[in-house]
């Protein structure tokens, strides 16, 4: 199983949403991380053949996707960012309906298995209109898995989920990635911190990094600092440095800063987090 993007770029009018995208994905969770407007959804739409790139090529297991989109369409499950459900159908009816449209054979058994996988067996016959955001997202994952795809693409799936649902969702995706490629986009570092085998940092349409989480951390090792400041110093520090966190402590504010050099004599080096690495990468040339 292999997905390859070679010099992919996408232009909307005069603006490039993506440029120079060279990526290779293999089984595991690939976390596509970037701020709003970075190009994550555009990249996912290209991978799922909803959009064609302006230039460049996409290959699925060696076959050119643009020439024969069917090769990847038969292997991909997609949960788009805006996923609509029919509120008057039950979860089971909705999945049956989608299975019929997609020509899934033995759909009843498959749907039972999927409802169990996403932990919705007990609510399977309730109308979708009564579901919480998290439950709907789980229906979204179930529909993306109807065809047992080798490639699962999920666009910001944790938006609107409560912390408990977020953790559960993360675990389901990690399990699924044992034998398939799961591409997950998010702007929340903790969504992928634990489960991603690879992280792609996307910013302003370009790949800033494509690495394992550990090597992203290595990049900022020794450059993260913390020290205590007065409230009135904060605005100036914000102009001067990349601040990756603040916490009220004792008589002041503990600031966390990414900087090549010691920012203040009292600043102490601390262990980096993925959040620090992310911020350092997306503010590198600002």
Binding site for ligand ATP (CB under 6 A): 12, 17, 34, 36-42, 81, 187
Q: Are 181 and 150 in contact (CB under 8 A)?
A: yes
Residues 6+ apart with CB under 8 A from 181: 1, 3, 25, 26, 27, 28, 30, 150, 151, 152
The nearest distance, CB 203 to ligand ATP, in angstroms, is: 9
Q: Indicate the residue among 185 and 223 with the shorter CB distance to ligand ATP.
A: 185
Give the three-state DSSP class for 197. coil
Q: Which residue has the tokens 């990468």?
A: 281
Handedness of CA 87, 90, 91, 92 (dihedral sign): negative
Dig out the tokens for 182 from the structure. 């799961």
- The DSSP 8-state label assigned to residue 127 in this structure reads B
Q: Indicate the residue among 17 and 216 with the shorter CB distance to ligand ATP.
A: 17
The nearest distance, CB 230 to ligand ATP, in angstroms, is: 35
The nearest distance, CB 7 to ligand ATP, in angstroms, is: 18
**Integer Cα distance of 164 and 225 in angstroms:** 31
Number of CB atoms found within 10 A of residue 240's CB: 11
Q: Indicate the residue among 144 and 224 with the shorter CB distance to ligand ATP.
A: 144
Dig out the tokens for 194 from the structure. 């634990």
Number of H helices, E strands in the chain: 10, 14
Q: Indicate the residue among 38 and 135 with the shorter CB distance to ligand ATP.
A: 38
The nearest distance, CB 53 to ligand ATP, in angstroms, is: 12
The nearest distance, CB 210 to ligand ATP, in angstroms, is: 16
Residues 6+ apart with CB under 8 A from 87: 127, 128, 129
Q: Indicate the residue among 224 and 282 with the shorter CB distance to ligand ATP.
A: 282
The nearest distance, CB 202 to ligand ATP, in angstroms, is: 7
Q: Indicate the residue among 18 and 152 with the shorter CB distance to ligand ATP.
A: 18
């Amino acid at each position: 199983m292999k997905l390859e993007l070679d010099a992919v770029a996408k232009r909307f009018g005069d603006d490039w949403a993506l440029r120079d995208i060279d990526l290779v994905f293999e089984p595991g969770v690939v976390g596509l991380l970037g701020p709003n407007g970075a190009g994550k959804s555009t990249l996912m739409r290209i991978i799922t053949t909803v959009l064609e790139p302006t230039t460049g090529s996409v290959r699925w297991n060696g076959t050119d996707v643009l020439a024969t989109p069917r090769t990847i369409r038969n292997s991909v499950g997609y949960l788009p960012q805006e996923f609509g459900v029919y509120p008057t159908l039950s979860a089971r009816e909705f999945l049956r309906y989608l299975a019929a449209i997609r020509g899934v054979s033995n759909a009843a058994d498959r749907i039972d298995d999927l409802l169990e996988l996403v932990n919705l067996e007990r609510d399977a016959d309730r109308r979708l209109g009564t579901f919480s955001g998290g439950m709907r997202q789980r229906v979204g994952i179930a529909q993306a898995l109807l065809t047992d795809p080798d490639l699962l693409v999920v666009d910001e799936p944790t938006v609107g989920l409560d912390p408990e649902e977020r953790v559960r969702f993360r675990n389901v995706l990690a399990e699924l990635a044992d034998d398939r490629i799961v591409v997950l986009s998010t702007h929340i570092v903790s969504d992928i911190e634990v489960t991603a085998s690879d992280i792609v940092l996307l910013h302003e349409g370009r790949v800033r990094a494509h690495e394992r989480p550990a090597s992203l951390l290595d990049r900022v090792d020794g450059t993260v600092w913390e020290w205590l400041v007065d409230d009135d110093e904060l605005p100036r520090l914000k102009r001067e440095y990349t601040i990756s966190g603040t916490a009220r402590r004792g008589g002041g504010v503990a600031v966390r800063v990414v900087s090549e050099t010691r920012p203040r004599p009292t600043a102490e080096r601390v262990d980096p987090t993925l959040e620090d690495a992310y911020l350092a990468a997306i503010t590198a040339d600002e």
